[in-house]
Amino acid sequence: MTRISFLLITGRIVVALLMLATNAGAQDVKQTDAYKRIRAELDATPAIDTHEHLRSFDQMLQFHQARPGTGVTLHSLWQTSYWTRLHRVPPWPEDNSFETWWQGARSMFEDGRANSVYRYLLPAFRDLYGIDFETITDQQARRLNEQVLKNYQDDEWVKKVIRERAKIELILVDSYWTPFDFKTYWPFEVRVLRVDSLLRGFHPSELEHPLEDPYDYARRRNLPLNTFEEYLALVDRIFAEAKQQGVVCLKTGMAYKRDLLFAKVSKQQASQAFGQPRSALTEQQVKDFEDFLLWRLAELSAQYDLPFQIHTGDARIQGSNPMLLLNLIEANPKTKFILFHGGIPWVGETGAIAFRHRNVWVDSCWLPTFSYTMAKRAYQEWLEVMPSDRILWGGDGVNAESIYGATVVTRRCLAEALAEKVIRGELREEQAHRIGRQILRENALKLFPQLLAPGKNHAIGFTPAK
């Protein structure tokens, strides 16, 4: 064989191999056997959901009513979903007619078909109602609305969807509307202590509702609250009661109101704001109070072993980069910080923080709903820079349909991310199965061991219906 013939043959082999690699890369991972096996494993895993805003059933009905007597409707499912982050939902009409509403609403989806905030609800309509929302007709829409109304006649629908269809064993509920009410309303519910109002408690005029008011909390328990020292004692009292009542962690959503750069300030600086309305204070004095309180809460988080969930990323956007929390994280190594939403859109930065700090967990709640592609990339990047036992998930919904949709999308996204790593030879398949179970379930049980305490919650051990 001549040298030229050898080179030609070798070249053809190289081209063929490149074409095979290209075709393999272009293959939809969801069509592979690896993905199907991983997805089946994740679908069968009873999940521990670390973040929802699920109200009691009575509160849920009130939350969804467009007008008195309307109940939960197709309109309210979209109105209370994350679709409204990008699009307007036409208001419910004065005549209380679904047909009137649908005539104005059916075209609103055309510019959002590719949006993740649209697509995450499609599995709920498909699996729970047998409706392909992409091709829905007027007649199907009317029947769907009627079925939604019927399903929410009692709370059994919510229980069935969450426990049997979504296969969720426990849900950590952030009831930001009643942060100091530690009662649970669902058999799968575990409470979270929302601490935002404590950060704004320098004066009673800052609090919007009695149920989130620490001053009201003090009055109902005949506790003095005239000095800053008494206020700090009250905060400690709230933590003690929350822990005793079965609360498993803290949550702050202050990223919606301000930046995440919380400086370490002295008690004396913070005390200057206490007892004065905002109108009598400078912006710096207000910030000093909030900054001091967040650092105090981080200390109490460690003291009471209540991990600290912090909303990072998309809120005000400017000032919500999780990198701004580094001084707080570094100074409180005994506090277990959970960076919510993967730091949207700073998912790489969030992974880098977890890479350097062993007291940091990353929660992907809301991320697949916000951007499916970003979530898949985030799972793969995080697994490359941090231990697999420090990644969590949550749905961040308010009703059965939104929780179900977010759960299905998360399981699918995670399965895709893991299957791609298997196909590329970066994981063995049995390792991918284990990691998937960790993220969906085992990591939460490890981080919140109270969930396994005998007698504390009877939901552990539940076996979903097949």
Residue-level pLDDT, tens digit, the chain, 466 residues: 554 444 344 444 433 333 333 344 457 999 999 999 999 999 999 999 999 999 999 999 999 988 877 889 999 999 999 999 999 999 999 999 999 999 999 999 999 999 999 999 999 999 999 999 999 999 999 999 999 999 999 999 999 999 999 999 999 999 999 999 999 999 999 999 999 999 999 999 999 787 899 999 999 999 999 999 999 999 999 999 999 999 999 999 999 999 999 999 999 999 999 999 999 999 999 999 999 999 999 999 999 999 999 999 998 889 999 999 999 999 999 999 999 999 999 999 999 999 999 999 999 999 999 999 999 999 999 999 999 999 999 999 999 999 999 999 999 999 999 999 999 999 999 999 999 999 999 999 999 999 997 655 444 654 444 3
Would you say 186 and 159 are in contact if contact means Cβ atoms under 8 Å apart?
yes
Distance (Å, whole) CA 12 – CA 333? 58
Distance (Å, whole) CA 258 – CA 464? 41
- In DSSP terms, 190 is beta-bridged to 172
- H or E segment to which residue 169 belongs: strand 168-174
By 3-state DSSP, what share of the chain in percent is helix, strand and coil, each rounded to 5?
55, 10, 35
In the prediction, which pLDDT does 460 show? 60
Distance (Å, whole) CA 283 – CA 287? 6
Q: Which residues lie below 8 Å from residue 462, measured CB to CB, with a gap of 6+?
A: 46, 163, 169, 188
Distance (Å, whole) CA 49 – CA 395? 7
Q: Which residues lie below 8 Å from residue 256, measured CB to CB, with a gap of 6+?
A: 311, 315, 316
Q: How many whole angstroms from its chain centre is CA 8?
A: 56
Q: How big is the chain by its Cα radius of gyration, in Å? A: 25
- In DSSP terms, 339 is beta-bridged to 310, 362
Helix axes 400-423, 429-437, angle to 10 degrees: 150
Distance (Å, whole) CA 308 – CA 51? 13
Query: CB neighbours (10 Å) of residue 208?
Result: 11
- In DSSP terms, 49 is beta-bridged to 171
In the prediction, which pLDDT does 464 show? 44
Distance (Å, whole) CA 248 – CA 447? 10
Q: Which of 213, 229, 305, 303 is nearest to 221 (CA)?
A: 213
Would you say 401 and 376 are in contact if contact means Cβ atoms under 8 Å apart?
no
Half-sphere exposure of residue 434: CA atoms within 13 angstroms, side-chain side: 9
Tokens matching residue 389: 């036992």
Q: Which residues lie below 8 Å from residue 432, measured CB to CB, with a gap of 6+?
A: 34, 38, 418, 419, 421, 422
Q: Which amino acid is at 132?
A: D
Distance (Å, whole) CA 315 – CA 259? 10
In the prediction, which pLDDT does 15 show? 37
Would you say 310 and 340 are in contact if contact means Cβ atoms under 8 Å apart?
yes
Tokens matching residue 311: 């909303």
Q: Which residues lie below 8 Å from residue 17, measured CB to CB, with a gap of 6+?
A: none
Would you say 198 and 239 are in contact if contact means Cβ atoms under 8 Å apart?
no
Tokens matching residue 155: 């709370």
Query: CB neighbours (10 Å) of residue 13?
Result: 10
Distance (Å, whole) CA 109 – CA 385? 38
Q: Which of 215, 203, 312 is nearest to 256 (CA)?
A: 312
Half-sphere exposure of residue 64: CA atoms within 13 angstroms, side-chain side: 29
Q: Which residues lie below 8 Å from residue 455, measured CB to CB, with a gap of 6+?
A: none
